[in-house]
Amino acid sequence: MRMGAKSRPALATVAAHMTRIFSGIQPTGQKHLGNYIGAIRHYVTDQDLGEAFYCVVDLHSISVAYDRDTLAENTLDTAATLLAAGLEPDRCTLFVQSHVPAHSEGAWLLGSVAAFGELSRMTQFKDKGEGRESVSVDLFTYPVLMAADILLYDTDRVPVGDDQRQHLELARNIAQRFNSRYGDTLRLPEAAIPSTGGRVMDLQEPTRKMSTTGGTAQGTVLVVDPPEVVAKKVRSAVTDSGREVRRGEGKEGIANLIGILAVATDRTPEQVEAAYDGQGYGQFKGDVADAVVEWLRPLRERYLELRSDESELRAVLARGAEQAQAVAAPTLAEMRHRMGFR
Ligand code: ATP
Ligand code: MG
């Protein structure tokens, strides 16, 4: 009998399995409107699509300079943000990456089928490494750990922002290569990237994506910013010297606000453009500010409540780690076996 792999049926025999959803988010400080629009709100709706696993990827967050004194606190904070946005522990599994050791071991195994050349082409590595005196090996191998995160859960669907498209493609290539070398083992995941809001831009530098670690403070709306701060940041968004509330060449700032308003008020960008035909930027920006404040208000209130009871939060994450481990461990055992470890 094959040791360790007996509890996991071969992939071909689980054709009718429930859709698996997996996504990860870094605990690199408070999360922003881009995270919410591009990823988190889809985590919430995807809970109804199948069996969903959401992971606070603390191991990823050490790939750039971080503060060890706030790591645990930020991890709890990110989990609270996800729950406040609408994740429900009865409808999904929410856990912390470092609590499930299969992720780091899986990454090491997958590293043997990942190529140096393909990792060197990853734009996130180039962007985050650019201009730094020292770049960690973890920043380089980040996509391999991300592949392990996803592949350990037999994932079908990965709700992510547009910036993760390339990493998802790589995860598929790694899985394919593993399968052709060792036999059908890993399911090939699909990225689920929203058509509107897949890449929310920094409000002060609208040619760069809004980012937890790389953006401007004034151009990054945190989902838990107080209402007056949210309003101020949106009202001072950089636009252009034109007057038309339309998307187009050189209008990245306006296009970004159109996308944000569309999502916050459940309209298409075309509907927003039509609604502001002939109106000026001042009125438009004021409306975006009001809409975003109202849209985020319930999330912020719930977040403040959740932060006041850390023991409940810790209990959710402990249960989540157990559930995640129960799924990840058999996949890892199968990988080890296929690779010849005994
Ligand atoms: P960093 O810039 O330091 O990588 P981040 O803001 O990208 O941080 P992550 O935790 O890495 O935050 O990303 C969590 C999720 O949010 C991912 O699915 C990512 O694709 C998505 N995301 C991040 N930034 C944006 C953005 N500006 N617009 C849309 N989605 C985004
Ligand atoms: Mg990121």
The CATH number of 227-306 is 1.10.240.10
The domain spans of the chain are 5-198+309-339, 227-306
pLDDT digits (tens, 9 = 90+) for 248-296: 999 999 999 999 999 999 999 999 999 999 999 999 999 999 999 999 9
Closest ligand to the CA of 31: 1
From the number of C-beta atoms within 10 Å of its C-beta (0-12, 13-18, 19+), residue 2 rates as: exposed
Residue from 211, 257, 263 whose mutation best tests the ligand 1 pocket (most atoms within 8 A of CB): 211
- Distance between CA atoms of 177 and 179, rounded to whole angstroms? 5
Question: Cβ(331)–Cβ(151) under 8 Å?
Answer: yes
- Distance between CA atoms of 32 and 199, rounded to whole angstroms? 12
Q: What percent of the chain has pLDDT over 90?
A: 91
Q: What region, left, alpha or beta, does residue 86 occupy, with left being phi > 0 and alpha being psi -120 to 50 degrees?
A: left
User: Per DSSP, what are the bridge partners of residue 51?
Assistant: 20
Residue from 77, 158, 163 whose mutation best tests the ligand 1 pocket (most atoms within 8 A of CB): 163
Which residue has 């590293």 as its token pair?
111
The answer, yes or no, to whether any atom of ligand 1 lies below 6 A from the CB of 25, is: yes
* pTM score of the predicted model: 0.95
pLDDT digits (tens, 9 = 90+) for 103-157: 999 999 999 999 999 999 999 999 999 888 899 999 999 999 999 999 999 999 9
pLDDT digits (tens, 9 = 90+) for 292-314: 999 999 999 999 999 998 999 99
- Distance between CA atoms of 25 and 57, rounded to whole angstroms? 6
pLDDT digits (tens, 9 = 90+) for 74-86: 999 999 999 999 9
Rg of the chain taking only CA atoms, in angstroms: 21
Which secondary-structure segment (H or E) carries 22? strand 20-25
CA 129 to chain centre: 20
CATH of 5-198+309-339, one of 3.40.50.620, 3.30.565.10, 3.40.710.10, 3.40.50.720: 3.40.50.620
pLDDT digits (tens, 9 = 90+) for 47-57: 999 999 999 99
Residue among 71, 72, 69, 96 at smallest CA distance from 82: 96
Q: What is the per-residue pLDDT for 15?
A: 54
